[in-house]
Structure 1
């Protein structure tokens, strides 16, 4: 079972890191945390690629003003692990300000020594 990557980060550490990168649209950090082979499902059911996700942050199409964690679950596995996050967020999406509660589920594996998200989805949470 993988507990830490080559830089010493745990799943808990990288979940914290991805939230921080999302909050400030740190495209360089997100690029390292997201696998090139990402399959991510958005709240509307659409599939979002790594390139599209990074571009949304780079251009400001998607911008988080607040990610307030409500609940976090870390589930290690033989191949990597999974994180589940429920958070109250304020997000600017295509110029529209949205306040809501979301649930992210991310599957992580270690690639080239670093944790990376390979699969994920975000859905409305209640």
Structure 2
């Protein structure tokens, strides 16, 4: 049985909600879904905080034209849960549009009654996809 937060959402529901917020750079939803204590490792090895992530979406430094999910796994444990999502993504960057296959690994906890990402990482699996 899946753990539900106070809004009735499962970890799967919140992963979907987070991906939707990323596609739209929805700062309100991202703020709600990301823990204030977030530690996230980018594909270049840089460690990002929640504020850095929100700022990247706010300024357009992180901007997705598309995130097409290829696979997703979710599991829960005594501490919370984790998700792994593989997707073809199209990002807008200063140098133009980039197509890349990404894998996101996220650790989730129920914080203040709602599922939130507390840590994670993203890695590039391929520079482009067909």
Instruction: Indicate the TM-score class for this superposition, using the shorter chain for normalisation.
Output: over 0.9
Aligned equivalents of 1:35, 1:2: Cα separation in 2: 20
Gap regions ≥5 residues in structure 2: none
Instruction: Give deviations 1:33-87, integer Å, cap 9, x for gaps.
Output: 0000000000000001100100111111110000000000001111110000000
Pair 1:16 & 2:24 matched: no
Instruction: Give deviations 1:6-59, integer Å, cap 9, x for gaps.
Output: 100001000000000000000000000000000000000000110010011111
> What does residue 40 of structure 1 align with?
40
How does the TM-score come out when normalised to structure 2?
Answer: 0.93
Q: Which moved more, 1:90-99 or 1:60-69?
A: 90-99
- Give the count of matched residue pairs: 126
> What does residue 58 of structure 1 align with?
58
Q: Which moved more, 1:89-98 or 1:72-81?
A: 89-98
> What does residue 27 of structure 1 align with?
27
Aligned equivalents of 1:2, 1:101: Cα separation in 2: 28
Aligned equivalents of 2:102, 2:78: Cα separation in 1: 27
How does the TM-score come out when normalised to structure 1?
Answer: 0.96
Would the aligned equivalents of 1:102 and 1:122 in 2 still touch at CA under 8 Å? yes
Residue 88 of structure 1 aligns to a residue whose secondary structure is: strand
Gap regions ≥5 residues in structure 1: none
Aligned equivalents of 1:93, 1:118: Cα separation in 2: 26
Aligned equivalents of 1:38, 1:12: Cα separation in 2: 19
Q: Which runs of 4+ in 1 moved over 2 A?
A: 93-96
